[in-house]
């Protein structure tokens, strides 16, 4: 009797093509959304610039005022070819593009690797005729395909908006490779971390560090554009004198990081990360027995990360205030173009918007963690005890609201103190404190909106990111995109006014405060009346 032939082990890449097809078939809405969002931003900005600066004289004035402002260079990066529509378009995309494009790539990389593994689907697939590395390679292939499609859509959108074909192609290639590079960062983060949440945190910290280094180099005019990958994008110079070395640097970096992710994947167990999570104490503290204590324990990592980002951001831009203020103050035309009386107000208004984005993003992630606890059944286990729903919801909401306010307060105070230290202007601290106080109610309003969305159900909680994103769009691209007044007023910051240039609209502040109270009360009622997703 012949012994049965043992089944051959699948190769490490067996099934890669099928996994790519599966990812495209099941995840095409999110993949298409990333392409449309990134390419749509470039197309809309390019289409608006032609109408805003139709004449060569208008573009020359832009280059001499906004384009030469250290504050603008710190936020948007260095500008090249600002006498052309394409150069101004690339410069105006600046801040939003340097944040949005890498974040989209990080999300796609982690969504199609670590999150699949965390949900148990990767283990199920590799139990069959699928190789050990096939899921990672398939995720990398999907990421690469989306980046290439995004670049093609950007180029097509730029040409349709009137940009020259060659310049649009260079610009699109730079952004596509920028996305691919930070997508590779996400692949490595997904191998290091055991959870997608930690992977996102690693990727966002790397992105924030890159941005702050670039802002410091460009704001002070240092000859060190190589110091940050975000500085390489502008050095492509698509609408001036195109340079290929940044494209090569992005491509090489993406290949090296992707190779590192493969090596890490071969050396770790399925479901685990290279860096294991730290073990907790043998006994919980007494505070964990309260709703607020539990909320703080589960959210403290997110709170600390966003707060540190706000403080470091404010410190870096506060340190740049003197150089920026001196150059802006010496140019009355620039002051008039920017609509300010003092150069330091430019830095304050721009820096505080990002501090507020950190505070509101903290709120979205804080309530998002509550959704994770609910869908995984742990929230139901807590509510099965003698803890009533309204107490848990109130404690969780209070922790998130206070953490958001703390992030805003520390960021504004850091900005004021550092500005005072470098400019010897004692009033800078008071100005920053007033700005933080003026925007406290809008931040609480965002917290209340996110609370209502979370109370309705887990499917709606992600919409809070749309409000945070709209605050950023109105704060930085309202004039460029010629957003109508009614749409700008959907941003609570715009309702209050542009501080410190404007006085806070007290009527708007009062209206937002009343709305926040009503929404907070409504969230308690909604959460108390619906069924839990699990548990």
Q: Tokens 């071969």 — which residue?
A: 266
What is the reported pLDDT for 1? Answer: 47
What is the reported pLDDT for 128? Answer: 79
CA-based torsion, 402, 202, 178, 113: positive or negative: negative
- More confident position, 349 or 138: 138
Angle (nearest 5°) at CA 443 between 514 and 355: 165
Within the chain, how many helices (H) and strands (E) appear? 24, 0
pLDDT of 4 strictly over 80: no
pLDDT of 250 strictly over 90: yes
Q: Summarize the confidence of residues 46-57 as an average pLDDT.
A: 89
- More confident position, 455 or 501: 455
C-alpha 335/C-alpha 344 separation (Å) is 11
Answer whether 143's CB lies under 8 Å from 178's CB: no
Q: Summarize the confidence of residues 254-272 as an average pLDDT.
A: 91
Q: How far is CA 265 from the centre of its chain?
A: 26
Q: Tokens 């009527």 — which residue?
A: 507
Q: Tokens 């004039």 — which residue?
A: 479
pLDDT of 5 strictly over 70: no
At residue 56, the 3 state secondary structure works out as helix
The token pair that represents 147 in the structure block: 């980046």
Task: For residue 271, give Cα distances in angstroms to 12, 109, 195.
Answer: 17, 16, 9
Q: How far is CA 269 from the centre of its chain?
A: 30
- More confident position, 167 or 318: 167
The token pair that represents 244 in the structure block: 């290929």
Answer whether 494's CB lies under 8 Å from 508's CB: no
Q: Summarize the confidence of residues 468-482 as an average pLDDT.
A: 91
pLDDT in tens, 214-241: 998 998 888 899 999 999 999 999 999 9
What is the reported pLDDT for 288? Answer: 73
Task: For residue 169, give Cα distances in angstroms to 163, 165, 231, 398.
Answer: 10, 6, 19, 49
Please tell me the least confidently modeled range out of 83-92, 233-242, 365-374. 365-374
pLDDT of 461 strictly over 90: no
Conformation bin of residue 195: beta by default, left when phi > 0, alpha when psi is -120 to 50:
beta
Answer whether 370's CB lies under 8 Å from 396's CB: yes
Instruction: Please tell me which of 90-94, 253-257, 332-336 the model is most confident about, judged by mean pLDDT.
Output: 253-257
532: nearest Cα among 377, 393, 385: 377
pLDDT-derived band at 423, boundaries 50, 70, 90: confident
Say if residue 68 is preceded by a cis peptide, omega within 30 of 0: no
What is the reported pLDDT for 428? Answer: 86
What is the reported pLDDT for 268? Answer: 85
pLDDT of 117 strictly over 80: yes
The residues near 404 (Cβ < 8 Å, ≥ 6 apart) are 359, 360, 362, 363, 366, 443, 444, 446, 447
C-alpha 439/C-alpha 448 separation (Å) is 15
Answer whether 516's CB lies under 8 Å from 441's CB: yes
Answer whether 407's CB lies under 8 Å from 307's CB: yes
pLDDT of 105 strictly over 90: yes
Across the chain, which distance is largest between two alpha carbons, in Å? 97
Q: Summarize the confidence of residues 499-508 as an average pLDDT.
A: 88
pLDDT in tens, 6-35: 556 667 788 889 999 999 999 999 999 999
pLDDT in tens, 155-191: 999 999 999 999 999 999 999 999 999 999 999 999 9
Q: Tokens 């909604």 — which residue?
A: 526
What is the reported pLDDT for 237? Answer: 95
pLDDT-derived band at 45, boundaries 50, 70, 90: very high
Angle (nearest 5°) at CA 449 between 314 and 195: 65
Instruction: Please tell me which of 59-68, 341-350, 401-410 the model is most confident about, judged by mean pLDDT.
Output: 401-410
At residue 98, the 3 state secondary structure works out as helix
Q: Summarize the confidence of residues 516-530 as an average pLDDT.
A: 93
pLDDT of 479 strictly over 90: no
C-alpha 199/C-alpha 189 separation (Å) is 5
Q: Summarize the confidence of residues 401-409 as an average pLDDT.
A: 97
pLDDT of 442 strictly over 60: yes
What is the reported pLDDT for 249? Answer: 97
CA-based torsion, 63, 66, 69, 72: positive or negative: negative
Please tell me the least confidently modeled range out of 289-293, 301-305, 396-400, 452-456. 289-293
What is the reported pLDDT for 330? Answer: 62
**Which H helix or E strand runs over 464?**
helix 464-477
């Amino acid at each position: 009797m012949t012994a049965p032939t043992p089944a051959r082990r699948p190769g490490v890449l067996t099934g890669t093509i099928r996994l790519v097809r599966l990812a495209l078939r099941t995840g095409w809405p999110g993949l298409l959304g990333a392409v449309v969002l990134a390419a749509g931003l470039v197309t809309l900005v390019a289409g608006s610039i032609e109408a805003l600066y139709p004449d060569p004289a208008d573009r020359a004035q832009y280059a001499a005022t906004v384009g030469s402002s250290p504050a603008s260079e710190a936020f948007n990066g260095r500008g090249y070819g600002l006498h052309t529509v394409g150069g101004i378009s690339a410069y105006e995309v600046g801040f939003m593009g340097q944040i949005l494009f890498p974040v989209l790539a990080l999300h796609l990389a982690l969504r199609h690797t670590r999150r699949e593994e965390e949900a148990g689907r990767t283990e199920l697939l590799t139990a069959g005729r699928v190789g050990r590395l096939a899921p990672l390679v398939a995720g990398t292939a999907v990421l690469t395909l989306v980046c290439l499609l995004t670049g093609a859509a950007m180029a097509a959108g730029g040409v349709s908006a009137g940009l020259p074909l060659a310049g649009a192609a260079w610009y699109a290639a730079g952004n596509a490779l920028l996305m691919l590079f930070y997508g590779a960062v996400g692949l490595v983060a997904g191998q290091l971390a055991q959870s997608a949440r930690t992977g996102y945190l690693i990727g966002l910290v790397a992105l924030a560090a890159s941005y702050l280094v670039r802002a410091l180099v460009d704001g002070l005019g240092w000859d060190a554009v190589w110091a940050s990958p975000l500085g390489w994008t502008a050095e492509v110079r698509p609408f001036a004198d195109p340079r290929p070395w940044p494209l090569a640097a992005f491509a090489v970096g993406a290949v090296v990081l992707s190779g590192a992710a493969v090596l890490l994947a071969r050396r770790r167990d399925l479901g685990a990360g290279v860096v294991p999570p730290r073990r907790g104490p043998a006994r919980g503290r007494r505070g964990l027995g309260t709703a607020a204590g539990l909320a703080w324990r589960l959210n403290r990592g997110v709170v600390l990360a966003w707060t540190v980002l706000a403080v470091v951001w404010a410190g870096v831009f506060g340190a740049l205030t003197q150089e920026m203020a001196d150059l802006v103050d010496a140019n009355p035309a620039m002051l008039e173009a920017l609509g300010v009386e003092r150069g330091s107000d430019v830095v304050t208004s721009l820096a505080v918007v990002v501090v507020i984005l950190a505070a509101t993003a903290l709120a979205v992630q804080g309530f998002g963690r509550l959704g994770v606890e609910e869908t995984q059944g742990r929230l139901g286990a807590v509510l099965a005890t003698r803890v009533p729903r309204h107490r848990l919801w109130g404690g969780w909401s209070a922790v998130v609201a206070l953490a958001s306010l703390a992030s805003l307060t520390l960021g504004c105070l850091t900005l004021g103190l550092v500005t005072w230290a470098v400019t010897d202007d004692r009033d800078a601290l008071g100005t920053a404190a007033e700005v933080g106080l003026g925007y406290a109610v809008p931040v609480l309003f965002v917290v209340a909106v996110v609370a209502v969305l979370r109370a309705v159900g887990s499917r709606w909680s992600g919409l809070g990111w749309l409000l945070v994103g709209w605050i950023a769009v109105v704060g930085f691209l309202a004039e460029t995109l010629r957003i109508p007044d009614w749409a700008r007023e959907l941003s609570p910051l715009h309702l209050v006014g542009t501080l410190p240039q404007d006085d806070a609209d007290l009527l708007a502040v009062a209206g937002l405060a009343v709305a926040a109270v009503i929404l907070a009360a409504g969230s308690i009622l909604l959460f108390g009346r619906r069924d839990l997703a699990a548990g």
